[in-house]
Amino acid sequence: MAVIEVDVTLETDRNGVQEAVPHLPPVMFRPDSVHYRSKDGKVRIVFDSPELSHSPTGKRSPFLDANGNEILSISSSDNPVQLKNPGVFFCHCFLTPPGKAEIGWGSTTPQSGGNHIVK
């Protein structure tokens, strides 16, 4: 079982808008675990777009807690979390640089999100 380190970088688009961009692998496999990190600050990943996620289990997140409940929010301070559900799961990504406000997903920041493809 491997731990996949997902780096999130603070990037500025051509209009000067900053985005929290997750660098997700093309495919992830169960039962590997995932940890999110950034040299630019604290990361928060949220799975709250069921209309953009597609899973044979009907879940919104690839992660479950010890009681079998979906984990819908994960941060860089959390331990690696094991992939449990197969499917395509869309996440919103947020980054809080030290001493600054949170930057992330929104109508003008479409790169601050991405698909977790889990097999």
Q: Which of 62, 56, 59 is nearest to 81 (CA)?
A: 62
Measured CA angle at 47 (ends 68, 81), to 5 deg? 50
Contact, 20 vs 94, CB < 8 A?
A: yes
Q: What is the pLDDT of residues 64-110, one digit of tens each?
A: 999 999 999 999 999 999 999 999 999 999 999 999 999 999 988 98
pTM of the predicted structure, to 2 decimals: 0.92
Domain that holds residue 102: 3-118
d(CA 74, CA 96): 14
Q: What is the pLDDT of residues 2-56, one digit of tens each?
A: 999 999 999 998 889 999 999 999 999 999 999 999 999 999 999 987 777 788 8
Q: Check residue 55 and give its pLDDT.
A: 83
Q: Check residue 41 and give its pLDDT.
A: 97
Q: What is the DSSP string of 50-90?
A: GGG-B-TT--S-SBB-TTS-B--EEETTSPPEEB---EEEE
Domain count, the chain: 1
